[in-house]
Each structure stands twice: as C-alpha cells, then as structure tokens.
Amino acid sequence: MRVSSRQRQFDALVRAHNGDLYRYAYWLCGDSSLAQDLAQETFLRAWRSLDALRETDAAKAWLITILRREHARLYERKRLETTDIGELELDDRDSLTPEQLGEDSIVRAAMLQLEPKYREPLLLQVLGGFSCDEIARELGLGAAAVMTQLFRARQKLKSLLVDGRGEASA
Amino acid sequence: MNCLDYRRELGPEPRRESAEMQEHRRGCPGCAAHHARALGFELALKRALAVPVPDGLAERILLAQTTSERGDRGRRRRVAWFAAAAVVLVGLGLGVHQLRLFSPLAQRLIVHLEHEPAALITHTPLPVEDVERRFTQRGVRLAAPLPAGISYAQACPVGLIGSVHMVMPEREGPVTVFFLPGHDERRSDYADDGMHVRAIPMAAGTLALVAADARHFDTLEASWRRTLEGSPDTAAGLP
C-alpha cells in the first residue's frame, strides 16, 4: 500500500510528540485514561488540519494549543476530580533510589494540588521547554504576568512539598 | 546586579541566565548556592513530571486516525457518487424539462419565449444596424432589407440550435420571429395553449413565427422570404 507524504508527516508527528502531549494532558486533567483520550483527540484534530502546519519547529506549540482547546471543551462538559496520590502511576525506573521515587510521588501530588493558573505555565516551561514569551503567547497573557505566575508557582510548589514531606515523615 | 536582582530574575526561569547574572553568580557564593538549589529543584520537578507514557499510545493514535480516515474516505466517495448522480439528473432534468432538447421545435420555441418575457415589452423599433448585426453574428447574409418595425433582436440559442430571435409588434399582439440558420425543419403549423407556431424552410435554415394571433403569418412569411432569399420567384414551400 502506498503511503502518502501527508500520512508520513502525521506518523512522524505522532511518534515525535505523543509522549509530550500525553504528559501535558496528564498534568492538565490528572487522569491517565482521560489524558490518552485527550492526546488521541488532539492528534485526530491535528490530522484534519495538518495542512495548517507549515514549520516543523512550530509543531509542538501547535499541538499543545489544540490540546488545551480540547481540554477546555472537556471542562465545559464536566468538572474533573483531582487524582489522589495513591492513583498516580510511577514508571519502572530501576535506576532511581526508593528515596527518589518517594520524592517524585510527593512532587506529583503537590503538582496536582497547584491551581491551574500556576500549574499550566509551569508545565509549558518544564515539559514544553517554552520561554516566557512563548508561554505568554500560548496563554494569551503578558510576559510579565507569566513571569509572576512562574515565580509564584515554584514558591507554592515548594511550600506544598514542605507540607508533603512533613506528612510523609510523620 | 545585586543578590536580590539575581534571585528575582532567576525565579521565573531557573534554567536561563543572562551574561550579567552569570557574572554575579561567579562572584557570589550565596547566589551560586541558590542557583545550585534551584537547578536541583528543576531536575526533581522535571523527573516527577515525566510520568510514564502508556505502552503503544502512538500506535493506538495512528490506528484511530487511519480507521477514521478510511471511514471518511468511504463517506467522501459515497458523497461524490451521489453528487455526480445528482449533477447528471439535474442536467438531464434541465435538458429535458427546461430546454426541451428532444421535444418538437415548436414546443421549444414556446418555452424559449417564456424564458425571455422582457423581449415582448418594448414596441420601439430597433435601429436596422442592430438587427443586421445579429444576423452577421450568426453568419447570415441578408439578401434584401429587413422588414420594418423589429423591436427586439438577440442572437440566442433555442435548445442547442443557434437562432436570431426577434419580435415584431403588430396591432393584434407581438409576433416573435426566429431564424435558425442551418437548421432543417419541415414546414408545419402548430398550435398549443393559445400559441401558434409556423415553421418554414427558408434560406438554408428555418424561419419560425410564434404568436397568439396567426393572422399576419402569411404576410410576414412573404416579407422574410424577400429579406432572406431575395426575389419572391425563388420562394419555395408557400402554402
């Protein structure tokens, strides 16, 4: 069967970005199966408007914009519950010490407690690798507002981590 | 740059340092330690956010896409077939019903009149040159001057046949005159729903007269034969 160049481009797009998209979706909704659905729906929409993608470098930002819209639509339909720490999946990373794995769990739980307005710019920066200006464009905010949110996001996260570690050691 | 400035700028983007920030850090052990702690936190954060991606996610997405695409393609193909069939049906409908391509000439002429009602409104004679130009457009050379009083003249097709379509106002109502060059039609008289049509073979074509009142047909036929063929002696097919 002959594969079109459009199909090849889409295959490459999925293989290059499905992990980032899934992770981003996961941290938006806090649910693995929902995150998979969101990632899939995002790519299906991307396929339908693939001709709009002109530059390879812009692919990730383009996909994240679609994903955020999909997530917003989902929120219009139902309010999502925050996932409990016990439901979080941990990857099989043998190289990590039990302490590191425990630390990851605490950070993940703290992330899910972070308000969306702080969590989202932080995700775009840490997972997406976007600059403040790029995040500002994506979120429709000013660069100064984004910098303030990123600063506060880390402060709040550190504060939650101190509380989490306190509870873990208690 | 002082320590406060350094930490304020590092806060939102711990992985990015300007040249000025780097210079400050190298000379300030406190900010160097702060920077190291910030990077340690970033590392832990990035590791924690990198939740494992479910196995086979990319394959499932591609499967969903190809399945959906095949369905869409099938739907598009069906829609295209329906559209093509609709176009053919509409075309046939137009051809048969509107243009009456396969109906007798007399019926086609009456239908044509219905499509150009404006032709019958004016009674002012057109300049002779305007009418002659329509004949020239159809490649017809007139043998004698045109009958007087033609109020409308267009080179328009009747179905698939080219014609010069004219109107001659008469006291009893307008008479529409068609000359169809190159069209071979037997002499005939036809009446339907209050309209009379006479088709006459003339000058290597057909002259057709259409009116509600047929009393001027003989006179008009004679005058058009003079115009198109010249001498009345050469006339053929007179009643």
Q: pLDDT per position in chain B (239 positions), as tens?
A: 899 999 988 988 888 888 899 999 999 999 999 999 999 989 889 998 999 999 899 999 999 888 887 777 777 777 777 888 888 887 776 655 554 555 688 888 888 888 777 777 778 889 999 999 999 999 999 999 999 999 999 998 888 889 999 999 988 889 999 999 999 999 999 988 889 999 999 998 999 999 999 999 999 999 999 999 986 554 444 44
Interchain contact A67–B (C-beta under 8 A): no
The two structure tokens encoding residue A70: 């999909």
- pTM (2 decimals)? 0.53
Min distance B87 CA to chain A CA atoms (Å) = 28
From B55, which residue of chain A is nearest by alpha-carbon distance?
A19
Interchain contact B63–A (C-beta under 8 A): no
Interchain contact A150–B (C-beta under 8 A): yes
Which residues from B are below 8 Å from A15, CB to CB?
58
Give me the residues paired with residue B210 across strands.
Answer: B176, B197
Interface of B with A in 11-30 (CB under 8 A): 11-14, 16
For A45-88, how does the pLDDT look when each residue is reduced to its tens digit (9 = 90+)? Answer: 999 888 888 787 889 999 999 999 888 887 666 554 444 433 44
The two structure tokens encoding residue A94: 């043998």
Alpha-carbon radius of gyration of chain A = 18
Select the residue from A21, A22, A28, A70 to test the B interface by mutation, using most B Cβ atoms within 10 A: A22
The answer to whether B53 contacts A127, with C-beta atoms less than 8 Å apart, is: no
The two structure tokens encoding residue A96: 């990590």
Q: Which among B47, B57, B68 is the nearest to A36, CB-wise?
A: B57
The answer to whether A23 contacts B69, with C-beta atoms less than 8 Å apart, is: no
Q: Which among A27, A36, A105 is the nearest to B54, CB-wise?
A: A36
Interchain contact B61–A (C-beta under 8 A): yes
Select the residue from A21, A89, A154 to test the B interface by mutation, using most B Cβ atoms within 10 A: A154
Nearest to B68, CA basis, from A11, A121, A48, A64: A48
Which residues from B are below 8 Å from A88, CB to CB?
51
Dump the DSSP string for A134-162: HHHHHHT--HHHHHHHHHHHHHHHHHHHH
Interface pTM, i.e. ipTM: 0.77
Interchain contact A61–B (C-beta under 8 A): no
The answer to whether A148 contacts B12, with C-beta atoms less than 8 Å apart, is: yes
Contact B169, B151 (CB under 8 A): yes
